[in-house]
């Protein structure tokens, strides 16, 4: 028995070392984890998002005392955008709080792919707002994924719609050349499937130009663009790749107003380093842009002015800060929706999942929450985990982002068959039987 | 006193050639196995399994594989991440195209695919040595990165290039629980690790070491360099490939080529160097050190900071983690250039004399 006792002691000591970070937990608290990256190559974009997400949660705690009286417990874990660290963070945080983590938002396509395999077993929803697997919109297969507000296929479709509108109609796309300059990772590759379909349908030539991660070196790619002279360049970058692309476009004198970034390539850290070269550059919006709205007053009053925010003053109201806030707001509203059914107590992941699926953010509710002007109505369902297919375009004028378009709606006649096909393939590979959405309540 | 082989007479060749000829070693090994297979599952939580034990066990096997090549045969390799990737994608393709195969069988078979690729990229080692060979294996790394990204067949034409592991089952038993995965990975690592330990003691391992110590002298006494070097590449890639397949199937579940990037190669190399070149035990110790220390620092720093009344932000913790980690690596290499395995050897020496040192 001697060595077994040693084993128990040793393992206990190890675990004490691992978990002495846990604080005493109250029973009436809802735990929300934050997978963030404040360091590494993607930190310039990761920091404002993390600050926005944290500040909104702190504001709800300070102003309302939590969600319907249930205080929010919030803890960050640094992933550095690395998948294995993200998985470690997920394992570390998923069981915290009286009911475990409410949802996870990893803000990384790689981590999302890895967690997609783990979430169903742990019964924790993944809120991947504007990123993640595009086929996870099909809630009958991807029960636990919520790519709310937009997937990359919606983004690709809206981008082509905008280009067509600029040129005066879809028939003008014929014979034109559109290039996709993308981050060479699942994130950057996601839109290709949708763009290939549209290239066949509308008759434009589709050029793929990959940029190896992290994307700070793009000389050869822009040489290729200068030689091939595409009529439009779609930019699917993240972090340092965006500003490098915009600068290089300036260097080879490719017109910046013929460049359209995805919503992860359309924030202040993407254009500010490029200076004057960024003027005229356009990007899709995940509905919202920069600027301060009604909700910012409360955030400033209860969090920023109290010195509780990590954000720099100029960061508040930036694109990614606002996105972090919306991310937390949507998550909190899903918890609130779940509470309406299950009672005002800390929700389990399973209950929050129900909340996401039955979330109904009407224009009135959005106004009440102080987000009017930032987003349109959002109503996910069992079959549609995206909830909306709206997007706009904004343009950098050298000082700030100006909204230059109306709302576009993703074209489901193109998107839906693709979602069904790819999600079906995933279900077959993983031996998942899709849920029957007509029987869900 | 404690660690004394005096009085342990070996009267048969079997006893003399046993993998652990000294009784104390056998006992310690059995105790460790008992702890790993029996005691740990009784106390470990899911977090400890998924974030600590499973990655450590899998990467320990990869480190053993790299140690065969670097530590025993003296061939520097920067392509171990690539061979892990080859194993992972081979296992994936085997499970896609031969769906009747059990995923665990796919994992094992993927090692042979990795071994084949390893031999291919090992051919330059017949002509070039040292830093130049490091460059050649670096080419393997970049070639594999390119292939996983660009050759669509490898990823079964998925739009994003990210692929998923099939559900892990054995005889109808669901092996998705953390305990089951841990036992499976541990079984793979222990069996293959002990097999390698045996291999390096035999004529194959002696050939590798002869090549490592002086290849011309080895050739003169009758060691065939081609056979020795390529067999080292094959065995090393096999082990690394199996661990890569486990990393993909049993740890990540869904992965992209970035999981097997050059960073992974460097991580494995650090494990081998810190653990100790030319030691199976060292590979395991190195894996434990490299996997556990960052996680431990990351969790220990905030409460330590709180003790002195300093609230550390997530970013600061991460910066400190990297600084302390780097400093510790340098410190270890300065005080013990032969790695953690050497510390264990010194401990054994001391235990042999204790309590009556000369």
Q: What is the DSSP string of B167-182?
A: PPEETTEE--SHHHHH
Residue A174 near residue A227 (C-beta atoms within 8 A): no
**Average pLDDT of the segment spanning A41-62:** 93
- Test A189 with B161 for CB contact under 8 angstroms: yes
- Measured distance CA(A409)–CA(A407) in Å, rounded: 7
Distances in Å between the Cα of A341 and the Cα atoms of A126, A435, B193 are 20, 21, 54
Nearest to A185 among B48, B251, B256 (CB): B256
| Residue with token string 């396509």 | A109
DSSP A1: -
Q: Which one, of B243, B235, B247, lies nearest residue B67 by Cα? A: B235
Q: Please indicate whether, in this complex, the C-beta atoms of A20 and B176 are within 8 angstroms of each other.
A: no
The confidence score (pLDDT) of residue A441 equals 63
* CA distance, residue A399 to nearest chain B CA (Å): 28
Spans of chain B below 50 pLDDT = none
Beta bridge partners of A72: A30
Q: What is the CATH number of the domain that holds B186?
A: 1.10.3470
Q: Is the pLDDT score of A228 beyond 70?
A: yes
**What mean pLDDT do residues A221-234 have?**
93
Task: Compute the count of residue pairs across chains A and B with CB atoms less than 8 Å apart.
Answer: 150
The CATH superfamily of A152-285+392-412 is Response regulator (3.40.50.2300)
Distance from CA of B63 to the nearest CA of A (A): 17
Closest chain B CA to residue A116: B254
* Model pLDDT, residue A22: 44
- In angstroms, the separation between the Cα of residue B73 and the nearest Cα of chain A is 30
Cβ(B184)–Cβ(B45) below 8 Å = no
Compute φ and ψ for A28, nearest 5 degrees.
-100, 60
Q: pLDDT over 70 for what percent of chain A?
A: 94
pLDDT value at residue A5: 52
Say whether the peptide bond before residue B355 is cis (omega within 30 degrees of 0). Answer: yes
Bridge partners (DSSP) listed for residue A207 = A179
Would residue B1 count as lying in a domain? no
Q: For an interface test with B, give the residue of A24, A91, A192 to mutate (most B CBs within 10 A).
A: A91
Does B212 fall in a domain?
yes
Q: What is the pTM of this model?
A: 0.86
C-alpha–C-alpha distance, residues B295 and A414, integer Å = 45
Q: How far apart are CA B197 and CA B195, in angstroms?
A: 5
DSSP assignments along B281-329, one per residue: HHHHHHHHHHHHHHHHHHHHHHHHHHHTT----HHHHHHHHHHHHHHHH
**3 state DSSP class of B247:** helix
CA distance A325 to A55: 7
What phi, psi does B172 have (nearest 5°)?
A: 80, -5
User: What is the C-alpha to C-alpha distance for residues A234 and A180, in angstroms, rounded to an integer?
Assistant: 5
* 3-class DSSP state of B255: strand
Contact B47, A92 (CB under 8 A): yes
pLDDT above 50: residue A3: no
Q: Residue A401: left if φ>0, alpha if ψ -120 to 50, beta else—which one?
A: beta
The answer to whether B160 contacts A84, with C-beta atoms less than 8 Å apart, is no
DSSP tag of A104: B
pLDDT score of B253: 86
Nearest CA in chain A to B51: A88
pLDDT at residue B328, rounded to an integer: 84
A contacts of B302 (beta carbons < 8 Å): 21
Among A58, A39, A38, A52, smallest CA distance to A319 is for A52
pLDDT digits (tens, 9 = 90+) for A351-385: 999 999 999 999 999 999 999 989 999 999 999 99
- Say which CATH class A28-150+290-388 falls into: alpha beta
Structure-block tokens of residue A50: 């993390």
B112 in any annotated domain: yes
B230 located within any domain: yes
Rounded to a whole number of angstroms, the distance from the CA of B351 to the nearest CA of chain A is 18
Residue B358 lies in a domain: no
Q: Measuring CA to CA, which residue among A294, A303, A292 is closest to residue A60?
A: A303
Q: State mean pLDDT over A279-287.
A: 93
pLDDT exceeds cutoff 70 at A436: yes
The tens digit of pLDDT for each residue in A320-348 reads 999 999 999 999 999 999 999 999 999 99
Q: Do B315 and A43 touch (CB under 8 A)?
A: yes
Instruction: Kindly report the average pLDDT of chain A as a whole number.
Output: 89
| pLDDT, tens only, A9-39 | 544 554 444 444 444 445 789 999 999 999 8
> Which residue in this structure is represented by tokens 């934050």?
A34
Predicted pLDDT of residue B26: 87
B173 - beta bridge partners? B170
Interface of A with B in 268-297 (CB under 8 A): none
Domain count, chain B: 1
Burial zone of B131 (CB within 10 Å; 0-12 exposed, 13-18 middle, 19+ buried) = exposed
The percentage of residues in chain A with a pLDDT greater than 90, rounded to a whole number, is: 68
Residue whose structure tokens are 């070269």 = A277
Confidence (pLDDT) at A179: 95
Q: Give the number of other Cβ atoms within 10 Å of residue A326's Cβ.
A: 27
Fold: same for A28-150+290-388 and A152-285+392-412: yes
Distance from CA of A334 to the nearest CA of B (A): 26
B57, part of any domain = yes
Q: What is the DSSP string of B209-246?
A: HHHHH-HHHHHHTT--HHHHHHHHHHHHHHHHHHHHHH
Range of B310's domain? 43-353
| Cα–Cα distance measured from residue A68 to residue A219, given in angstroms and rounded to the nearest whole number | 54
Number of neighbours of residue A418 by Cβ within 10 angstroms? 19
Q: Is the pLDDT reported for residue A147 higher than 80?
A: yes
Rounded CA gap, A253 and A275, in Å?
Answer: 14
- Extract the runs of DSSP E, i.e. beta strands, from A244-334: 259-261, 282-285
Across the interface, which of A8, A78, A186 has its CB nearest the CB of B318?
A78
DSSP assignment string, A144-195? TEE-TT--HHHHHHHHHHHHHHHHTSGGGGTT-EEEEEEETTHHHHTTHHHH
Cβ within 8 Å, pair A39-B165:
no
Q: What is the pLDDT of residue A338?
A: 95
Residue A109: partners with Cβ closer than 8 Å, 6 or more residues away: A131, A132, A133, A185, A186, A187, A190, B160, B162
The two structure tokens encoding residue A380: 């996910």
Tell how strand B163-164 and strand B169-170 pair up. unpaired
Q: What is the DSSP string of B101-127?
A: S-HHHHHHHHHHHHHHHHHHHHGGGGT
Return the pLDDT at B332. 81
Asked if A301 reaches chain B (Cβ–Cβ under 8 Å), the answer is: no
In this structure, is residue B265 part of a structural domain?
yes
**Is the torsion defined by CA of A187, A193, A198, A200 positive or negative?**
positive
Residue numbers in A near B161 (CB within 8 A)? 185-186, 189
Answer yes or no: are the C-beta atoms of A88 and A47 closer than 8 Å. no
Classify residue A432 by its DSSP letter: P
Q: In this structure, is residue B222 part of a structural domain?
A: yes
Domain boundaries, chain A: 28-150+290-388, 152-285+392-412
């Amino acid at each position: 028995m001697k060595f077994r006792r040693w084993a128990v002691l040793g393992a206990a000591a190890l675990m004490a070392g691992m978990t002495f970070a846990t604080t005493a937990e109250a029973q009436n608290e809802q735990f929300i984890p934050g997978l963030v990256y404040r360091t590494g190559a993607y930190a310039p974009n990761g920091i404002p998002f993390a600050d926005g997400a944290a500040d909104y949660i702190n504001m709800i705690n300070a102003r309302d005392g939590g969600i319907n009286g249930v205080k929010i417990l919030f803890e960050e874990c640094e992933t550095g955008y690395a998948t294995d660290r993200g998985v470690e963070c997920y394992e570390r945080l998923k069981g915290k709080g009286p009911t475990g983590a409410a949802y996870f938002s990893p803000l990384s396509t790689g981590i999302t792919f890895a967690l997609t395999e783990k979430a169903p077993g742990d019964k924790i929803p993944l809120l991947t707002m504007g990123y993640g697997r595009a086929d996870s919109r099909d809630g009958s297969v991807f029960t636990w994924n919520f790519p709310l507000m937009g997937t990359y296929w919606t983004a690709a479709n809206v981008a082509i719609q905008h280009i067509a509108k600029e040129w005066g109609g879809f028939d003008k796309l014929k014979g034109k050349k559109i290039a996709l300059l993308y981050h060479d990772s699942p994130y950057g590759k996601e839109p290709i499937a949708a763009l290939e379909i549209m290239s066949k349908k509308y008759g434009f030539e589709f050029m793929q130009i990959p940029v190896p991660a992290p994307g700070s070196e793009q000389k050869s790619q822009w040489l290729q663009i200068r030689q091939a002279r595409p009529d439009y360049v779609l930019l699917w970058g993240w972090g340092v790749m965006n500003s490098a692309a915009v600068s290089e476009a300036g260097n080879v004198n490719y017109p910046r107003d013929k460049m359209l970034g995805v919503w992860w390539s359309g924030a202040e850290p993407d254009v500010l380093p490029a200076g004057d070269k960024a003027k005229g550059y356009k990007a899709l919006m995940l509905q919202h842009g920069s600027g301060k709205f009604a909700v910012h007053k409360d955030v400033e009053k209860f969090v920023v002015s109290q010195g509780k925010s990590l954000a720099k003053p100029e960061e508040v109201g930036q694109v990614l800060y606002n996105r972090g806030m919306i991310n937390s707001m949507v998550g909190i509203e899903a918890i609130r929706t779940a509470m309406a059914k299950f009672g005002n107590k800390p929700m389990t992941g399973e209950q929050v999942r129900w909340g996401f699926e039955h979330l109904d953010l009407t224009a009135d509710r959005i106004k009440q929450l102080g987000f009017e002007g930032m987003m349109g109505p959002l109503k996910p369902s069992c079959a549609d985990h995206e909830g909306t297919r709206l997007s706009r375009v904004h343009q950098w004028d050298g000082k700030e982002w100006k909204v230059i378009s109306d709302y576009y709606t993703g074209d489901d006649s193109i998107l839906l068959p693709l979602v069904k096909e790819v999600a079906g393939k995933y279900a077959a590979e993983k031996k998942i039987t899709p849920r029957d959405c007509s029987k869900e309540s | 006193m404690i660690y004394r082989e005096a009085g342990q007479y070996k009267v048969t060749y079997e006893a003399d050639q046993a993998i652990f000829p000294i009784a104390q070693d056998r006992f310690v090994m059995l105790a460790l196995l008992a702890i790993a297979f029996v005691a740990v599952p009784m106390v470990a939580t899911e977090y400890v399994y998924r974030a600590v034990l499973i990655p450590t066990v899998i990467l320990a096997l990869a480190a053993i594989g790299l140690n065969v090549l670097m530590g025993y045969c003296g061939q520097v390799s920067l392509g171990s991440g690539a061979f892990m990737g080859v194993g992972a994608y081979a296992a994936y393709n085997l499970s896609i195209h031969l769906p009747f195969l059990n995923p665990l069988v796919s994992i094992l078979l993927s090692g042979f695919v990795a071994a084949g690729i390893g031999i291919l990229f090992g051919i330059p080692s017949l002509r070039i040595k040292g830093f130049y060979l490091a460059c050649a294996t670096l080419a393997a790394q970049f070639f594999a990165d390119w292939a996983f990204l660009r050759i669509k067949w490898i990823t079964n034409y998925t739009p994003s290039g990210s692929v998923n592991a099939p559900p892990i089952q054995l005889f109808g038993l669901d092996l998705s629980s953390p305990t089951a995965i841990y036992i499976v990975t541990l079984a793979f690592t222990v069996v293959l690790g002990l097999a390698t330990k045996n291999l390096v003691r035999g004529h194959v391992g002696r050939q590798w070491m002869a090549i490592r110590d002086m290849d011309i002298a080895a050739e003169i006494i009758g060691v065939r360099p081609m056979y020795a070097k390529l067999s080292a590449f094959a065995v090393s890639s096999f082990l690394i490939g199996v661990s890569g397949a486990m990393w993909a199937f049993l740890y990540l579940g869904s992965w992209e080529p970035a999981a097997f990037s050059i960073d992974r190669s460097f991580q494995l190399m650090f494990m081998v160097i810190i653990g100790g070149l030319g030691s199976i035990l060292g590979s395991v110790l190195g894996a434990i050190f490299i996997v556990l220390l960052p996680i431990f620092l990351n969790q220990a720093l905030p409460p330590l900071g709180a003790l002195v009344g300093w609230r550390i932000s997530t970013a600061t913790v991460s910066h400190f983690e990297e600084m302390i980690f780097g400093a510790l690596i340098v410190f270890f290499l300065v005080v013990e250039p032969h790695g953690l395995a050497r510390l264990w050897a010194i401990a054994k020496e001391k235990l042999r004399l204790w309590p009556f040192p000369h």
